[in-house]
Amino acid sequence: MTSILILNGPNLNLLGTRQPEVYGATTLSDIETMCQKYGDSHEVEIGFAQSNHEGVLIDHIHAAKGVHSGIIFNAGAFTHTSVALMDAIASVELPVIEVHLSNIHAREEFRHKSFIAPVAIGQICGFGAQGYLLALDALTAHLAR
């Protein structure tokens, strides 16, 4: 069975209360429930992890090799700063889709640069929580090839 890790970075544990005008009212738990329903209906095993710590995220990426078929990753602010996360993704050789709730390209200039994008198979941003389901569709289709 296909297995996908949905990995979330810093401050995403505060979804629903953190800047709802930017990130919406949907909580991380709501997103996990949506994704689990997707997995159940598409026969895809879904794993979830969130951390506010870069090293813990790297550990989750490393641990995904041989366990998961791919990763959906919202690295939060680490997207714009972490060469270490980029290197971790490149080292495990799993397909990764980068997800952001907001459109990072329509926000502050510093958010336009992604260190994840060069090692991801694609990027989905600006569709709120729906972006995770779009990423699940894209990743499952990619894995079915």
pLDDT tens string 51-85: 999 999 999 999 999 999 999 999 999 999 999 99
**For residue 27, pLDDT beyond 80:** yes
**Domain 2-144 CATH class label:** alpha beta
**86-139 confidence digits (pLDDT tens):** 999 999 999 999 999 999 998 889 889 999 999 999 999 999 999 999 999 999
Query: Full-prediction pTM beyond 0.85?
Result: yes
Catalytic residue list contains 38: no
First-to-last C-alpha distance (Å) of the chain: 15
Catalytic residue among 23, 60, 68, 132: 23
H or E, element range at 71: strand 70-74
Active site residue 80: no
Beta 70-74 vs 2-8: how paired, if at all?
A: parallel
Pick the catalytic residue from 38, 42, 80, 100: 100
Backbone angles phi, psi at 45, to 5 degrees: -80, 135
Phi, psi of 141, deg, nearest 5: -65, -45
Task: Return the pLDDT at 36.
Answer: 98
pLDDT value of position 123: 98
What does the domain layout of the chain look like in residue ranges?
Answer: 2-144
Return d(Cα 85, Cα 77) in angstroms, integer.
Answer: 12
DSSP of 106-125: GS-GGGS--SSGGGSSEEEE
